[in-house]
Chains A and B, each alone.
Chain A
Amino acid sequence: MEIKSSYPYYIERPLENRRAEGFLAAFEEVLENSNYRSILDLYSRVSMHCSRCATECQIYQATGKPEDVPCYRSAILLRIYKRHFTPLGKLKRRLFGTVSVTESEIDEMLEAFYHCTACGRCTLYCPMGIDHRLLTRLGRFILSKIGIVPKALAVSVREQLEGATGNTSAIPLKALKSTIEFLEEEILEIKGVEVRFPLDVEGAEYVFFPPVSDFLIEADTLMGIACVLNEAGVSWTIASGNYDAINYGLFYSDEVLEKVLQKMADEVIRIKGKKILIGECGHASRSAKAFLPSFNRYEEIPVVNILELTARLIDEGRVQIDTTAVTEKVTYHDPCNIARSGWVVDQPRNIIRSFIKDFVEMTPSGRYNLCCGGGGGTVSINELKPYRMDPAGRKKAEQLKATGADVVITPCANCKKQISELIAHYKLPMRHAGLHDLIFTAIIMKNQVKTDE
């Protein structure tokens, strides 16, 4: 039987006592095996507590509560670091018997770090460049080592790394093959052409990793992607040993991040693929692009986001799209994990402008976008849904409403779920769609596909 204690989310093994002691031991272990010590040292010296980040955090703007100020949250971890791991802190402990971390601080952290959606917007407004997203993640990492991690994330990760199916949605290979067949039949029925989802094609240029949940709930996104790749004659494949790009390690654990990426790289090597192609998913794209170079045991494997590739294919004239097919007013939501760094900002807009006439930008947008309110893994934690709707998603809902759009494009599995729920919660007169959902509607299929298999 699951125990729900005072935790704001379900955890598998709630600790009854000695959490503070465990936290410090875990903190020490993490510092010994990582590079975090130097950044903690630096941030604790330069954090001026100017609270400028507060003006740009959509959660603080919605709640007005001091504990939702990014710097306030980071300060808890920095304070513990200073008390326990710096010479001055150690001296104070010996002289005055000060406590390094209290039980109430543990409670504060386990809530605060999962109230943050790790969107990283505050960092753009910090004059000292303090990366609160990094500190939130580090706080979660340490907490996870004493068993404080949302069950929803832990169970998915365990299935992905140790389970029989090897993916976060527990989709067996047999079910994947059935889904693929179904999708191929759907494309044939809708577009009148045979399009294949190649499986285990050796030596393909792109090994395709979508967020695996797309196979369950985002059929149009996958069909759009398959149509684009087949129409352009791209060499691609899905790998039967690993077809899940989701990497919850980005949200809470270096260990998980590394293992999921190694598993991905192993599969690419197994089928002699050349590049990793990530589907419409922000966090999965960033995980692979930013961190595979750190963990990869093999030669460099380039990582490409599907929006980058599709934009290039359209630009090269290899994909034709009917400019009259989509007549609704459309807006675009920038997923934080691919837009905040400026990586995938122009490409989707180039795609949109190539076939959508009535396009309206959100304010702000691009690198400075507002988070959907379900970032940082919180969208996968169902018990946090009330929080995700309000306050976390309130500003996003207001922003969506202000556009007056009929369709909001959300090229990210997490954002899709959150925004669809926001639309329902706030009764917004619009629908959400992946970018490739709209491409699927509008793509002009000229080539009958020949299979490589």
Chain B
Amino acid sequence: MNDALSFVTGPLFSFSIAVAMLGALRLVAIAIIDIARSMETSGDLKLPWKDILLETTSWMVPLGRIFATRRLFSVASLMFHVTLLVAIVLHQDHILMVKQAVGISWPHIDRYVIHVLTVVCILCVLVLISFRLFKNSGRALSDGMDYFLLLLILAALISGLVASKGINPFSHGTMLIIHALCGNAILVLIPFSRLGHFILYPVLWTASAIAWKFPAGGENGTGGTEIR
């Protein structure tokens, strides 16, 4: 048991975090290169930078927007992101693992606060899953991956909480292994799934604005001559 736990929190974690970081870097690099390439081929380089900055920052802290529509979903979504981020990044054990893996650390917050945040986060995930299951539009849009990612996060949260509280029907080690495996899976999936959205978020509005800058096609227009 101890060997397995050491493996998933040691070498496997190092591998997962490396995949996540390198993959994230790759995503950002590709996005920036694509933006630069698009700007190069466009005859118009003027972009509404003020609007882009405003949209990007306002959705990062969407306090003015979340009460406009679908309040419960919006509040749950915001709380989910905030609590998840804080619970992951400022958890003492996580920081210790990162220190062992890459040699850097930062201050942590109290375990009790982490537990409260985890419970809030679990409730938020349940709200988000409910919207996908019971809202007409949400159900139609959601695919298997949408549910899988939420359930994976839910599993990581519950196993982490249960393991740390020592109230689980299984052994402490088993729950920790499940928690670590889920965490590693999340890390590995960041570059290869929609989980990477938070990495790409800062460039999204810029990319959208540039997408409207069409390259000129010359005499024959873009890619063809026939008028249809």
Contacts and interface: CB of A to CB of B under 8 A. Distances in A.
Interface string B51-66: 1000110010010010
B227 A291 contact: no
Contact of A258 (B34, B139, B146, B221): B221
B204 interface: yes
B221 A259 contact: yes
**Most chain B C-beta atoms within 10 Å of own C-beta, residue among A56, A259, A342:** A259
A253 B217 CA distance: 12
A294 B223 contact: no
B141 A258 contact: no
Contact of B215 (A35, A41, A162): A35
Contacts of B216: 258, 294-295
A71 B141 contact: yes
Given A45-B196, A129-B59, A255-B223, A35 B211 contact: yes
A174 to B, nearest CB: 25
Interface stretch (A95-103, A143-151, A202-210, A233-241): A143-151
Interface stretch (B4-12, B40-48, B180-188): B40-48
Given A34-B215, A144-B228, A129 B55 contact: yes
Nearest to B128: A50
Interface in B61-75: 62, 65, 68-70, 73-74
B115 interface: no
A35 B136 contact: no
A46 B200 contact: yes
B4 to A, nearest CB: 31
Interface in A99-137: 123, 125, 127-131, 134
Given A42-B200, A294-B215, A258 B136 contact: no
Contact of A38 (B77, B207, B217, B227): B207
A308 interface: no
A254 interface: yes
Given A258-B217, A258-B222, A128 B141 contact: no
Contacts of A127: 59, 62, 77
B135 to A, nearest CB: 7
A48 to B, nearest CB: 6
Interface residues of A, number: 63
B69 A52 contact: yes
Contacts of A69: 137, 140-141
A49 interface: yes
A54 B73 CA distance: 13
Contacts of B92: none
Contact of A48 (B59, B197, B205): B197
A46 B137 CA distance: 18
B14 interface: no
B194 A45 contact: yes
A71 B140 CA distance: 10
B214 A35 contact: yes
A69 B70 CA distance: 15
A45 B23 CA distance: 13
B146 A39 contact: no
A253 B201 contact: no
B196 A46 contact: yes
B27 A45 contact: yes
Given A29-B224, A35-B37, A294-B44, A255 B197 contact: no
Nearest to A295: B216
A157 B227 contact: yes
Contacts of B41: 35
Nearest to B149: A48
Contacts of A131: 208, 211-212
A32 B223 contact: yes
Contact of B37 (A38, A42, A49, A149): A38
Contact of B194 (A38, A39, A48, A129): A48
Contact of B201 (A32, A128, A162, A294): A128
Interface string B116-139: 000000000000000100011111
B141 A75 contact: yes
Interface of B: 27, 30-31, 34-35, 37-38, 41-44, 46, 48, 51, 55-56, 59, 62, 65, 68-70, 73-74, 77, 131, 135-143, 146, 194, 196-197, 200-201, 203-205, 207-208, 210-217, 221-224, 227-228
22 contacts: A29-B224, A33-B217, A33-B223, A38-B34, A38-B38, A46-B196, A48-B194, A50-B138, A54-B137, A55-B70, A64-B136, A66-B140, A69-B137, A71-B141, A72-B140, A75-B141, A123-B208, A125-B69, A131-B212, A254-B223, A255-B223, A293-B44
Which 6 residue pairs across A and B have the least CB separation, nearest first? Answer: A66-B140, A38-B34, A33-B223, A255-B221, A293-B44, A54-B137
